Structure 1
Amino acid sequence: MSAIHPRFLASLISKNNRISFIGCFVQMFVADTLGAAESYLLAVMAFDRDLAINRPLHYPAVMTKRFCIGLAVLPWLIGTVIMFIGTMLTANLEFCGPNEIDHFFCDFPPLQILACSDSLVSNAVTSVLAVIGCGIPFFIILVVYIRIIITVSKIKTSKGKQRAFSTCSSHLIVASLYYVTLGIVYFKPNGNPYKKYFTLMYALISPVLNPFIYTLRNKDVKAALSKSKLLNIVPCLFHYSQSR
């Protein structure tokens, strides 16, 4: 969001939809690096929940400070390396025609369509990188949640099952929202007219919702919201509509 949002808002306010060649590729590199890093961070979070549910007694011994730092740094390294390769391949293509991007930010597919030279190699490599950046973490999350469901299904009490699933609820909502919209964008045909809307969902709307989703179970946040005057808006609006 931090790579797309400022330029997107500037274009809406100033009505200037131009972006420099270098600026376009910098935006694409940063945005896709952050996207790949988020995919692997979601996989890391899934691993954390799997360890907490399936091996709770080993959790403090495994999740040491050094190991946690490594898990936090690894997604950024993977995202940076794979997107640097894709960006360099795409930047080396020849662009000689009308350079008008049919999108609200610079991304691999709309840029490769504009290339005058043969983009077959670039398309193939970026497809492989997309699988590495998004497909592998999705498979890891899927396997992890299958393991979690099998473990939780063996718990006899309903209270125990509910407690186990509650630790995964926020992560599951965020991961589902992210991967459903991402899959629609990148695995549907190029002629899909709704691609840009789903891109807007995972690139701008989802990051805004994530902090609220992750804090739904936080007692301090719940207490703060219950005391907030913002919650009185709905009753006031209801009373106002009745008085009219």
Structure 2
Amino acid sequence: MLTDALLDRTVIILSSYNGQTKTDPAFNLHKLGIKNALIGFIEQCKLLPLAQQLEHIAKEMKEKTGDMAAKIEHESSQKRTWTLVFTLAALALERKQNLPENHPEIVPINKLLSGLSNGWVHGFGSIGLGLNLNVEAINNLIEGMKEWIQYFDINQGMQNKHEVLLALYAAACSLEEKLSSYRIIPKKFKDEMATIKSLIANKFNDLKNKLEEENRNRISSALQVLGPDEDPLYRQFKEQIIRLKT
């Protein structure tokens, strides 16, 4: 998940937009935050029972009380928010490289990456005489993110779909809280981030249900060799085992 090569490629993508380039000196800090904190956190979350994973992430990513939020902040030298925005691009690239050509997720992923690259090169906004936003970049980021999650195929990408959804949820939790803390940010953008977080949670629950069903089927198949289904004691034992495993 999120290898050094992938993070380096993310830097290249975010540094260029429509022929213009800009190198962010904080890129290495974002990479450190991901490698030294976020990746291990997601791997640990995956070991928890499926029903507890999103709740644990939401707790750990709280700005003032979450241990993982604090660790990412420390490892990235106080660049946590932008590290998580960088993470969105890295996750999109990782997902894209594991999809077949012309998969429905690719178009919204490209839109998301376009918005992120535009914002990184030209800025997402500035505060002068009021708030001046790079509307094109922000709209592509939000629309691309929403459409990507809506098209996210839980049957595609066996190696990384679970990790991608967990990491996306971690980023969405933190970014939603950060946007909500700024009065100057238009409410519609705050609402959009809340919607994105909800879409990710719904998609994760679809995956959770699928994984639980697969687990039940594996257990049932394995237990077939232990005794005949017509044996009442065997049926009771099998049902108890399945409940324990799910």
- What TM-score do you get using the length of structure 2 for normalisation? 0.30
Is the strand fraction higher in 1 or 2? 2
